[in-house]
Amino acid sequence: MIVRFWGVRGSIPCPGPKTVRYGGNTSCIELAMPEVSRRIIIDAGSGIRELGAYILNEGTITKQEKIKIFLTHTHWDHIMGFPFFAPMYMPDAHIQIFGPRASEKDSLEEIVGGQWTYNYFPVLQKDLAATVEYIELKEGEYDLGMGLRLKTKLLFHPISCLGYRFEYKDKCFCTLFDTEPFKDRDEIIEFVKGADLIVHDAQYTEEEYRSAKEGWGHSYIEYALDIGIKAGAKRLAFFHHDPDRTDEELDNLGNNYNSKEIESFFAKEKQEVVL
Ligand SMILES: [Zn+2]
Ligand SMILES: [Zn+2]
């Protein structure tokens, strides 16, 4: 499996001279399994725009090759890139959008598809050229076919938000964002046990979190590190960087928080990790 980061920021895109190296796009990760020509996308933040262009360039769009997008949740920074995801406008594309239902009242389709209304965008959902399917997920286990398995876990966030554990052959890739620290850490450690890579919410330092950010739905770096080490993970990527963090600050945090017990790094846009 190859993991590619297309957007690593939380909350809002933050392009500019201070974020050139880590990137300014919001959440979007590609999980590629080239040997079986499969691709999974996690989240549709602003980073998905460039991934869409990359997929078009590859020329791999067919009705048979369904594009599977797993949304962690429907907060805007995780879905804002959808209207600019070029395959949505390709008649040959079949796109499956998986994700949790945010509330009893609103379906996944209503919330995500609601971006294609004239109040927000000049194209309507019914006019999209691609075949688009919405599939709601709950906490549980799913067989995605061709040897790919998925486990989901409800995280600690103001709306329903899922952590993902993808298993393929002997490799395991996990995402834990957006989430605040779990009071019972063992519960979440069990979920990501033995992962080859965990991508973890690390928007704040512990000091920032404790001074003003409790209840905002995000974790701190020290907590993410503790979960990664106790889960026995091979690698840990700090993710969902605060939009105010500059490249220099992220470099410094990377130097301050490296541990001998686990290989950790602050995720960068366009970075590729082979599992
Ligand atoms: Zn977010
Ligand atoms: Zn969120």
- What ligand has the least distance to the C-alpha of 156? 2
How many angstroms separate the alpha carbon of residue 146 from the centre of ligand 2?
Answer: 31
How many angstroms separate the alpha carbon of residue 178 from the centre of ligand 2?
Answer: 5
Q: What is the pLDDT of residue 135?
A: 98
How many angstroms separate the alpha carbon of residue 73 from the centre of ligand 2?
Answer: 7
What are the structure tokens assigned to 172, written together? Answer: 């395991």
Please state the pTM of the whole predicted model: 0.97
Q: What percent of the chain has pLDDT over 70?
A: 100
Q: 36 pLDDT band (50/70/90 cuts)? A: confident
How many angstroms separate the alpha carbon of residue 101 from the centre of ligand 1?
Answer: 16
How many angstroms separate the alpha carbon of residue 103 from the centre of ligand 2?
Answer: 14
Q: What percent of the chain has pLDDT over 90?
A: 93
How many angstroms separate the alpha carbon of residue 70 from the centre of ligand 2?
Answer: 14
- Across all residues in the chain, what is the average pLDDT? 96
Q: 37 pLDDT band (50/70/90 cuts)? A: confident
Q: What is the pLDDT of residue 64?
A: 81
Q: What is the pLDDT of residues 96-106, one digit of tens each?
A: 999 999 888 89
How many angstroms separate the alpha carbon of residue 217 from the centre of ligand 1?
Answer: 9
Residues with CB under 5 A from ligand 1 (ion): 10, 77, 178
- What ligand has the least distance to the C-alpha of 75? 2
Q: What is the pLDDT of residue 159?
A: 94
Q: 65 pLDDT band (50/70/90 cuts)? A: confident
Q: What is the pLDDT of residues 118-170, one digit of tens each?
A: 999 999 999 999 999 999 999 999 999 989 999 999 999 999 999 999 999 99
How many angstroms separate the alpha carbon of residue 113 from the centre of ligand 1?
Answer: 18
